[in-house]
Amino acid sequence: MKFTFVTLFENLVSFYFDDSILKKAIQNKLLHVAYVNPRDFSVDKHKKVDDYQVGGGAGLLLQTQPLYDALNHIKIKNPDAYFVFAAPAGKPFVQFDAKRLARKKHIVFVSGRYEGIDERVVESFCDEVFSIGDYILTGGELASLVMCDAISRNITGVLGNENSLDEESFEHQLLEAPSFAKPIVYANKSVPSEFLKGNHAKMSNLKNELAKLKTQYFRPDLFFLAKTRR
């Protein structure tokens, strides 16, 4: 899978691939990461990349021409690339999207800055627009990284143990059951005794019941969905 990040601030993104699982995935050639800076496409002699909003409005926008030309350049060179824009106005990015997008060959993440992006650029290039939550970030880099990370976990070979994906939160509209590491007693709290009996069938039922309770408590919206789909 190839990821191209379109950003004015490559350093805000590249550090994330310097460690851990995604670094290993790059070394193993499962992932390839590239960067395109709209500033390199600016025809302005000062390489300006911000501009006032037509019709007024607080704050500046990313200038239309450098971003449009940068995206056009990528599209011409990679006709099959899939363009994902980060924007608060996008649809909420969820685990289903992470799994679905893991089947693409090349995703281009477009990060806005300032007060955002000219709507015509979004319309011209976007395959999908996603929000990572109902709050405003300074720029789209974190949102793009969040999506990239969640997608990468679902690419075969990226995680050491693919079985762990099946028991994760959101897999069956449920949160994952509580889990415990050694020692059995820590800070005066013990692991529930049922976890120590070594009966795999009982353990699996118990975990399923605990997952339901946890979902009901923390995410009643998800629990309701799980119930209606059962």
Whole-number minimum distance, CB 178 to ligand SAM, in Å? 29
Instruction: Decide: residue 189, CB within 10 A, 0-12 exposed, 13-18 middle, 19+ buried.
Output: exposed
Whole-number minimum distance, CB 50 to ligand SAM, in Å? 12
b/e for 132-148, b at 16 or more Cβ within 10 A? beeeebebbbbbbbbbb
Residue nearest to ligand SAM (CB): 112
Using the minimum distance from each CB to ligand SAM, give the nearer residue, 12 or 31: 12
Whole-number minimum distance, CB 60 to ligand SAM, in Å? 10
Q: Which residues bind ligand SAM (CB under 6 A)?
A: 86-89, 111-113, 115-117, 131-133, 135-140, 143
C-beta separation of 184 from 135 below 8 A: no
Using the minimum distance from each CB to ligand SAM, give the nearer residue, 12 or 25: 12
Whole-number minimum distance, CB 124 to ligand SAM, in Å? 16
Using the minimum distance from each CB to ligand SAM, give the nearer residue, 89 or 184: 89
Using the minimum distance from each CB to ligand SAM, give the nearer residue, 118 or 174: 118
Please name which of 1, 138, 136 lies closest in space to residue 62, comparing C-alpha atoms.
138
Instruction: Decide: residue 183, CB within 10 A, 0-12 exposed, 13-18 middle, 19+ buried.
Output: exposed
Which amino acid makes up residue 109?
A: F
